[in-house]
Amino acid sequence: MKGLFKSKPRTPAETVRLTRELLIYADINSNSREAKREEKMSELSKLIRELKSILYGSSEAEPVSEACSQLTQEFFRENTLRLLIICLPKLNLEARKDATQVVANLQRQQVHSKLIASDYLEANKDLMDILVSGYENTDLALHYGAMLRECIRHQCIARYVLESDHMKKFFDYIQLPNFDIASDASATFKELLTRHKSTVAEFLSKNYEWFFAEYNSKLLQSQNYITKRQAVKLLGDMLLDRANSAVMMRYVSSKDNLVILMTLLKDRSKNIQMEAFHVFKLFAANQNKPADVVCILAANKEKLIRFFRDFTVEKGRKTFFFGSFSVKDEQFEADKAQVVKEITVLEDRT
Amino acid sequence: MAQDIEESRKLTYPLDPTSYKILKQIGNGVSATVFKAACLPMDSLVVAIKAIDLERLRANLDDVRREAKAMTLLSHPNILKAYCSFTVDQHLWVVMPFMSAGSLHSIISSSFPDGLSEPSIAIVLKETLNALLYLHDQGHLHRDIKAGNILVDSDGSVKLADFGVSASIYEPNSSQCSSFSSSSSLRFNDLAGTPYWMAPEVIHSHVGYSFKADIWSFGITALELAHGRPPLSHLPPWKSLFMRITNRLRLSDFEKIRTGKNKKFSKNFRDMVASCLSTDPYRRPTADKLLKHPFFKNCRSTDFLVKNVLQGLPTVEERYRENLICLRSQSKTDDNDDGDDGQTEAVVKHRRISGWNFNEQVLELEPVFPIDGSGPPTPTKEDNNAKIIQNKAAPSLLVPEFCFRDETRLDVGINENEKVEEVIKEDCGIREKNDLGTEMAEEGRVTSVEEQETGVTNTPVEGVMVDIAPLVPKLRELLESLEFEKHAVSEIIACISGGEHVEMNREEEFQEKISQLNLQLEQERRKSSLLETELESLRCTESHDM
């Protein structure tokens, strides 16, 4: 960063060019002489840090938008992003983190009020394949994961990932034993399925069959506490989104789905129960319940009503979430009353 | 150096619970328990495992993810990193290096009740600063710097731990973008940390805050190491917050160093702490600058800690056990403090028990909030103040203490109510008295101010056990005598400081504070109504656009 204030300051574009040269070097010469290579790699790390401080500013200086836009233009003028992603495994931990932050920042940089990162990625969608497969590598997962989450801020990129075969892999990634990686993958999964409403709605309706089959069996019926908890929460977020109303109607018209949610309602985790309720209420509120759904609800009428009588927000929790959350509590009670009302009028037709 | 650490990371720790043998519990909090354990496939290497109960944890899972990520990606000799983490049913196990000497908080409370010597403090603080410098350089705020989060190993190495409330300026706030993120995602404008160590601009959280907040907490931690406890810790946390907001006690905190007990502190130390505790965050030095402070110039090596602090120290396990026994006997006399009830949890949540930090000072002095409960008298001045705190400081921290407590407690609150105003005034005075308490006692002129003061704060708690009504006259008596003593004390202060320290009429001062706070509140209201109008107009344009 100090380099900026030296007698011959490099322009941001020059910094990018130098970085690119060294990346090319790092990419090709993985076996060249140790000492020389080490020197180049440490220079590369410094340059990446310099890029970062141009983009983010430092404790002494705020970022300068003109410098940022120069940097961004030069960065995407050639294939720097690809090189950086490919060479990431060759960088040390600090440089990897810096590189990740640089990539993240670049996704938001506007040049002439255009996100040029988006255009670049659209033409280089295969980079997403590298980033997604990063979840299979413990050392790279968190870096590639963070980059990926930034890239899918662009709708076209999110669509690409959603429609790719990678989507299927996420069901396994989010259950990896390593918590850091699994939770990073779930964050990306959630982002993919909630961020761009119209794209998500389109994806869910086109891929309804396999997606929810996987979702139900691998996630909602998982033995793993955290998988279940996150999955039922995300399911609620997806189904309650207005953009997904068609998908929601389809989901709550299925008897099998209802059975799964009722099982979750009885889960021994209060958090899971709560989240399950927010999905279950949709089954009950559906004004065109299919006969088999009615049948199940009616058959369990007494049990459900008894269950809801004692089903409340935990006392401690209630007090803790003061303010905005007391409204939530009220909403919850209202929802519950509505559900009970809906169920009460059902008649067991069997 | 970083290379070495990376190398050691290559040793992959097993990700299943059966590979670890739990040896002993060494700490616990409401949602986490810390164990000493052996990693069987690694020659039974001793590790610490923090088992976080995700079901009881009030934070959302995104925060947990951020913490885990921070602990994995941060790599510095002065930062406690996680070897690995994995879930075991509803628990998250975080496997970490075992720091055999435990936290400085625990070391101090077990063996150095009056604080550490200056050379030891310098070492601890310098190592902590190294960690802070690295963190800040990485764009991370720690947000909970305190002795309880500074751990020591048997070789004297010092590591900063617990990133439960840490935040990264680089980590985009995804939960803000996604639809209804329901829980208390802790961002820069949220209240995080532990009240006593909290910087004023964190409490005034509307202004947002930055790295300088960590520097403040660092300064408070310096005081904690020097005195054996953080300033204002004799007050319940919300009062501590209140004091901080009224801007009043900062100087006297620092004064404490100058006049404090029998201990003499060097000018360098006082100067260093004072710079950290500057009210204006911009005037506080950066971690980088602080490291260059003369106080750290002739800092000794960590061996000094081994010889002077660690030797003869009970083990972490022993200390934990002792503490348990201690807590148990406490809970016998006061079962309201039982860690299991809701309000306690809420407070603890913000402390993010690091496992070694099991002394719950905060919980011993439970606040009784005067305005809560049925039929309080006409709003008094500090009602207003209290509301301001409630508004400014995130309710999540304060509210649980005010409502939904059990009824007995409420009753006490109401009884107290009549006198509350004075009590608060008393509390303001306590600081000065406390500072001079020991000196006075030596001079034999005032009999143990501190004892009486604790009497006042504790009475409500004890009152739960005893019939409450008869206490009221006693309390009044106590107040009167305190009033008298206060007078005496201020005279002494005036004598000692040669008139410099002339006390302003408390009533006047209070009035002034209140009008200031009211003014602030008014400004905030205006701001928020402006913002609302703006939001409304934005909404309008948006709906037009659609």
Please report, to the nearest 10 degrees, the dihedral formed by the alpha carbons of residues A188, A189, A195, A201 taken in order.
Answer: 160
Q: Catalytic: B545?
A: no
**Which of A102-111, A246-255, B487-496 is predicted with the least confidence, judged by mean pLDDT?**
B487-496
Contact criterion met (CB < 8 Å) for B211 and A59: yes
Segment A206-217 shows an average pLDDT of 97
Q: Write out the residues of chain A at the interface with chain B, using a CB-CB cutoff of 8 A.
A: 56, 59, 92-94, 97, 101, 104, 138, 142, 149-150, 177-180, 183-184, 186-187, 190-191, 194-195, 224-226, 229-230, 237, 241, 269-271, 314-323, 328
Chain B residue with the nearest C-alpha to that of A60: B286
Which site among B3, B94, B163, B170 would you substitute to test the A interface, given the most A Cβ atoms closer than 10 Å to its Cβ?
B170
Query: Is domain A207-350 classified as CATH 1.25.10.10?
Result: yes
Chain A residue with the nearest C-alpha to that of B135: A94
Chain B residue with the nearest C-alpha to that of A178: B86
Cα R_g (chain A), whole angstroms: 25
Interatomic CA distance for residues B321 and B311, integer angstroms: 19
Any residues with CB less than 8 A from the CB of B41 and at least 6 apart, and which? B14, B19
Question: Of B407, B323, B399, B408, whose CA–CA distance to B148 is shortest?
Answer: B323
CA atoms within 13 A on the CB side of B91: 15
* The pLDDT of residue B375: 37
Contact criterion met (CB < 8 Å) for A316 and B68: no
Give the confidence band of A203 by pLDDT, cuts at 50, 70, 90. very high
Contact criterion met (CB < 8 Å) for B54 and A226: yes
How many residues are recorded in chain B? 546
* The pLDDT of residue B519: 82
Q: Which of B63, B144, B162, B372 is catalytic?
A: B144
Segment A272-286 shows an average pLDDT of 95
Segment A156-184 shows an average pLDDT of 96
Any residues with CB less than 8 A from the CB of B349 and at least 6 apart, and which? A320, B30, B31, B57, B58, B59
* The pLDDT of residue B187: 32
Contact in structure between B104 and B152 (CB atoms under 8 Å): yes
* The pLDDT of residue B69: 85
Low pLDDT (below 50) residues in chain B: 1-9, 170-192, 195, 200-208, 245-262, 333-466, 499-503
**pLDDT (tens digit, 9 = 90+) per residue, B33-58?**
899 999 999 999 999 999 989 988 77
Identify the residue with better confidence: A58 or B309. Answer: B309
Identify the residue with better confidence: A2 or B418. Answer: A2
Cα dist. B165→A182, A286, B82, B190, B450 in Å? 21, 41, 16, 10, 33
**pLDDT (tens digit, 9 = 90+) per residue, A67-106?**
999 999 999 999 999 999 999 999 999 999 999 999 999 9
